[in-house]
Amino acid sequence: MVRAFIAGGVIAVIAPLIGTFLVMRRFSLFADSLAHVALAGVAIGLISGIYPILTAVVTCIIAAIVIEKLRENQKIYGDAALSLFLSGSLAVALILISFGHGFNVNLFSYLFGSITAVETQDIYIMLSLSVLMLVFLLGFYKELFFIAFDEESAKVSGLPVKNLNLLLMSLAAVTVSLSMRIVGVLLIGALMVVPVLTALQIAKSFKQTMLYATVFSLIAVFAGLILSFYFDVIAGGAIVFLSLILFICALAFANIRSRVR
């Protein structure tokens, strides 16, 4: 549980920060698409005997770069590129899993998350990659903020938009890969998006949105892990369920506040 709380805290901070930029760019489904790619990466790792999170990270980064390249193609829209990887990567994952003799216990923990599956090695990798991600976010915050709200103006102003987009997509890929142990492949997208949507109901600025999203994410993750431990439920499901409860409460609060005004 100590390892789970450390890993959960790391993911609870990173996921909404990256998710805020994705939501603002109308790219919320990107996380779900990469989650299916991550599943294929995990399958590769389990079959080859390589550490699954590392294979998932590499696979997701490659997929993120390809998706961004396809999105730049005028003949393929962003949602179409996501659909290609959403279905294609799942098909590849299922084929690889069949070679590995089906769903085993290790793969099941990656699918739905498992608080007992978090190992010390996972903690070190999560902390190292998360620190690098935070450094990149702080270093390129203004540029990413500009692109999130007006990509065309960012291009005109001379910003390296293509490279920054690739950076953002790569950071999202790493986030998805690191989140597998806590919430599972099937629910990663929700952890990156739902706290951001909750924050948007009450925040008055972009920075407030990131701050509130992080707070809501931390509450959902820690409370979800506690529920998972004491009531023997799947951690990922408990975390996302609590995230949805927080969203409903924030939405109700926003509606009441607008009526009072």
Q: Domain map of the chain by residue range?
A: 2-184
Report yes or no on whether pTM surpasses 0.85: yes
Q: How many CA atoms lie within 13 A of 141 on its CB side?
A: 9
pLDDT value at position 76?
A: 66
Q: HSE on the CB side for 79, CA within 13 Å? A: 2
Tokens of 82: 């996501």
CB 88 within 8 A of CB 69: no
Per-residue model confidence (pLDDT) at position 104: 59
Q: Each residue's pLDDT tens digit in the chain (261 positions)?
A: 788 888 889 999 999 999 999 898 888 788 888 888 888 888 888 888 888 888 988 998 998 888 888 877 666 666 677 778 778 888 888 888 777 665 555 677 777 777 667 788 888 888 888 899 899 988 999 999 998 888 888 888 888 888 888 888 888 888 888 888 778 877 888 889 999 999 999 998 999 999 999 999 999 999 998 998 888 888 888 999 999 999 999 999 998 888 876
| Cα gap 97→39, rounded to integer Å | 9
Per-residue pLDDT at 259: 80
DSSP code of residue 121: H
Location of structure tokens 């993750």: 221
What pLDDT, on the 0 to 100 scale, is given for residue 105? 54
List the Cα angle 167/133/76 in 5-degree steps: 25
Question: In the structure encoding, which two tokens stand for residue 81, read together?
Answer: 């590129």
Residues 6+ apart with CB under 8 A from 161: 147, 151, 154, 155
d(CA 256, CA 261): 9
How many DSSP H helices and E strands does the chain contain? 12, 0
Coil vs helix vs strand at 13 = helix
pLDDT at 15: 92
Tell me which amino acid residue 149 is: F
pLDDT of residue 94: 80
Cα angle vertex 239, ends 254, 98, to 5°? 130
Q: Do 175 and 192 form a contact (C-beta atoms < 8 A)?
A: yes
Please tell me whether residue 143 adopts helix, strand or coil conformation: helix
Contact 100, 47 (CB under 8 A): yes
Per the CB < 8 A criterion, the answer to whether 177 and 60 are in contact is yes
Note the pLDDT of residue 115: 67
Task: Output the pLDDT for position 88.
Answer: 85
- Tokens 């390589």 correspond to 50
Quick one: CATH architecture of 2-184?
A: Orthogonal Bundle (1.10)
